[in-house]
Amino acid sequence: MEDNNDTTIYETQGFGADIQLKAPFGLLIVDLVNGFADPAVFGGGNIGQAIDKTVPLLAAARHAGWPIAHTRIVYAEDGSDHNVFSAKIPSMLTLTEQAHASQIVSELTPREGELVVRKNVASAFFGTSLAAWLTHRGVHTLLVAGAVTSGCIRASVVDASQLGFVPLVIEDCVGDRAQGPHQANLFDMQQKYAAVMKRDEALAKLGIEVP
Per-residue pLDDT of the chain (211 residues; tens, 9 = 90+): 545 567 899 999 999 999 999 999 999 999 999 999 999 999 999 999 999 999 999 999 999 999 999 999 999 999 999 999 999 999 999 999 999 999 999 999 999 999 999 999 999 999 999 999 999 999 999 999 999 999 999 999 999 999 999 999 999 999 999 999 999 999 999 999 999 999 999 999 999 887 7
pLDDT at position 59 is 97
pLDDT at position 166 is 98
Task: Tell me the three state secondary structure of residue 150.
Answer: helix
pLDDT at position 209 is 80
Q: Please, what CATH class does the domain formed by 21-205 belong to?
A: alpha beta
pLDDT at position 3 is 52
Cis-peptide into 148, omega within 30 deg:
yes
Contacts for 23 with CB less than 8 Å, ≥ 6 apart: 140, 141, 206
Name the residues annotated as catalytic.
152
pTM, rounded to two decimals:
0.95
Helices (H) and strands (E) in the chain, counts: 8, 6
Measured in degrees and rounded to the nearest 5, phi and psi for residue 177 equal: -75, -15
Comparing CA positions, the residue from 121, 20, 104 lying closest to residue 54 is 104
| Cα–Cα distance measured from residue 143 to residue 28, given in angstroms and rounded to the nearest whole number | 6
